[in-house]
Chains A and B, each alone.
Chain A
Amino acid sequence: MWVAGVVLVVMVGAAVLAPWLSPYDPIATDTDALGLPPGAPGHPLGTDLLGRDLLARLLHGARTSLLVGLAAAALTVAAGVLLGALAAAGPRWLDELIARTADVLLSLPMLLVVLGLAAVLGPSLGTVIVAVACTGWMAVALVARAELISQRERLYVRAAYGLGLTRGQVLRRHLLPGALPPVASVAAFEVGHAILTESTLSFLGLGVPPHRPSWGNLLTEAQEHLLTGAWYTVAFPAGCVVVTILAVNVLASAANRGEGRAW
């Protein structure tokens, strides 16, 4: 668990410090350094066939991928909590509507929904974030709704109503803080899900536009070199995606187990 935490801190740190860690511009081509192997002088991870420094591309890719991952997860959780709260507190037909919509979306594969969205909105950072939120809010909303409903009848909530607090005040002061721990443990998994979706979409050419490096984009470009000996162009970004998702999953499982105790 500590290892996972350290890995994530290093990843985020490397992404934030990208311009200082590598002197190269991730999209500048250098005709004197085409297709260098890892360990070449000045280029620790080598360069690609256009002479772009792979370390710089990897670090700047981490910026995009982690940013999209975190932003998408944040939007997912916000939308999920909002809809869950509406379902729990709103009129019955709204509850039904949200539950049915969640059912329909859950019974469809994520990629189908994302594909439709990507076709309509066109590939961009925003599309990826919206697509992740559209396909991920259901889990958060279901947990938030269940938690809010189970708390609604607790004594301290009824006491708060008895003291004359309005519904909004009770929701903000008493219900939402209580619902936070289970939502947080779902949210942690959503971060991993978001990073995975970003890399898959970008890999398929439907996510982050190609001129902006992201881990998924790097993999698309590198794929054709996989069988010609330049395997490292695939291995580094793939390794980053896998290690990051594993680290997030380890932390999320830990948060899941410690739920209620740690909070």
Chain B
Amino acid sequence: MRAATACGVVAVLSVLCFAVLDAAPGSAAASILEARSGGRPAPPAAVAALEREMGLDDPMPVRYVRWAAGVATGDFGVSYRSGRPVADVLAETAPWTLLLTAVATLFSVVGAIAAGLAAALTRSRRVRRGIEGVLFTLGGMPGFVTALLLLWIFAGWLRVLPSGGLHRPGEALTVGIVATHLLLPALALAFGHHFGVYARLVQTGVERLRAVPHVDSARARGLHRRTVVLRHLLRPGLVPFAARFGAGVGTLVAGAYATEVIFAWPGVGREAIAAARDQDHALLAAIVLLTGLVVVLATLLGDLAVAWLDPRVRLGTPTHD
């Protein structure tokens, strides 16, 4: 059922993607000829000839089917800007984006659970207020402002981390060097996108359970505090967080775009922004489609995580909270 909806979303996404990019003003053939002749506008006859050669004058459904068939076999066309196959550009950049997003997701989950738990369990009013204040401020910061702030603190002021890129020019690409360059963008991505919301969801999820009978009874039976927290508070308390996080992975993936631009991370996002600026439609369409696919998959995974955490969802019984 869920999977069927997801397939529908992907189909609509692909049509939208193609239609929107196809409706763009300007002729791709004209700009290719212009680039070849060094900026001189091309004669209309030459433009028409190239359009026929590229199949750009076919009716739209024909072009959509051709594009979709190509995409299904991994052929995304040629990037107008660099003249290289889109698939090559993606193969080069996608792994770095996946790495960045995966590490950022890890930071985000661990950080949100830690901050949320600390705020929910601390007995000190001041600590709780402090955490809540920081979370609220983070909630009002656009992702790129968080990134600039981290960049300034760690690369500009303390000078402990590199400001961008994958490695210094001429330096070998080793795990350690990539890790130091990865740390700052991953932190920026994790803390810049809904982190406050996630931590608050963990906090309220756990707080809501503190006064519930099964937790009192677990405590009364003399269970270790750690067992009570992990088994009886955290696992059920994470349900609202997990439900929201699955939907929020999309924001994280899209947030990687701006983060990659700021930190000169050689990923898909930097290509996407450049493609949008230069109206490189083949590249942009492929990136938007693939990102959409990843997001739909992530949402499905989020639903599975909720089902694992909350047996009521798994068994199909109605939930009341």
Say yes or no: A245 contacts B258, CB within 8 Å: no
Say yes or no: B273 contacts A227, CB within 8 Å: no
The answer to whether the Cβ of A129 comes within 8 Å of any Cβ in the partner chain is no
In the bound complex, CA of A102 to CA of B281 (Å): 25
Interface SS of chain A: helix
How near does chain B come to A16, taking the closest CB pair, in angstroms?
A: 23
How near does chain A come to B148, taking the closest CB pair, in angstroms?
A: 6
How near does chain B come to A165, taking the closest CB pair, in angstroms?
A: 39
The answer to whether the Cβ of B24 comes within 8 Å of any Cβ in the partner chain is yes
Say yes or no: A206 contacts B277, CB within 8 Å: yes
In the bound complex, CA of A100 to CA of B4 (Å): 13
Given contacts A206-B273, A227-B156, contact A246 B140 (CB under 8 A): yes
Per-residue 0/1 for B141-171: is the Cβ within 8 Å of any A Cβ (1 yes, 0 no)? 1111100110110011000000100000000
The answer to whether the Cβ of A31 comes within 8 Å of any Cβ in the partner chain is no
Per-residue 0/1 for A89-129: is the Cβ within 8 Å of any B Cβ (1 yes, 0 no)? 00000000000100110011111100111111010000000
Say yes or no: A234 contacts B141, CB within 8 Å: no
In the bound complex, CA of A156 to CA of B275 (Å): 55
Given contacts A115-B284, A120-B24, A204-B257, contact A107 B299 (CB under 8 A): yes
How near does chain B come to A107, taking the closest CB pair, in angstroms?
A: 5
Chain B stretch 214-265: residues in CB contact (< 8 A) with chain A:
247, 250-251, 253-255, 257-258, 261-262
In the bound complex, CA of A175 to CA of B12 (Å): 33
B16 contacts across to A, CB distance below 8 A: 116
B20, B136, B141, B299: the one within 8 Å of A116 (CB): B20
- Chain A residue nearest to B141 in the complex (CB): A242
Say yes or no: B258 contacts A203, CB within 8 Å: yes
How near does chain B come to A181, taking the closest CB pair, in angstroms?
A: 24
B156 contacts across to A, CB distance below 8 A: 226-227, 231
Say yes or no: B9 contacts A104, CB within 8 Å: yes
A118 contacts across to B, CB distance below 8 A: 276
A200 contacts across to B, CB distance below 8 A: 142-144, 258
How many residues of chain B have a CB within 8 Å of chain A? 52
The answer to whether the Cβ of B267 comes within 8 Å of any Cβ in the partner chain is no
Per-residue 0/1 for B265-297: is the Cβ within 8 Å of any A Cβ (1 yes, 0 no)? 000000011011101010010001001100110
How many residues of chain A have a CB within 8 Å of chain B? 37
Say yes or no: A112 contacts B142, CB within 8 Å: no
B163 contacts across to A, CB distance below 8 A: 227
The answer to whether the Cβ of A196 comes within 8 Å of any Cβ in the partner chain is yes
Say yes or no: A234 contacts B291, CB within 8 Å: no
18 further A-B contacts with Cβ under 8 Å, apart from A200-B144, A246-B137, are A100-B8, A104-B8, A104-B12, A107-B250, A108-B295, A109-B251, A112-B254, A115-B257, A115-B276, A119-B276, A119-B279, A120-B23, A120-B25, A203-B142, A205-B273, A245-B141, A245-B142, A249-B136
In the complex, 24 of the A-B residue pairs with CB atoms within 8 angstroms, ordered by the A residue number, are A104-B8, A104-B12, A107-B295, A109-B291, A109-B295, A110-B251, A111-B257, A111-B258, A112-B254, A112-B291, A115-B273, A116-B21, A119-B21, A120-B21, A196-B142, A199-B142, A204-B258, A219-B144, A226-B148, A227-B163, A242-B140, A242-B142, A246-B136, A246-B140
Give residues in B with beta carbon < 8 Å to A.
Answer: 5, 8-9, 12-13, 16-17, 20-21, 23-25, 136-137, 139-145, 148-149, 151-152, 155-156, 163, 247, 250-251, 253-255, 257-258, 261-262, 272-273, 275-277, 279, 281, 284, 288, 291-292, 295-296, 299
Nearest 4 Cβ contacts at the A-B interface: A109-B254, A111-B254, A246-B140, A109-B250
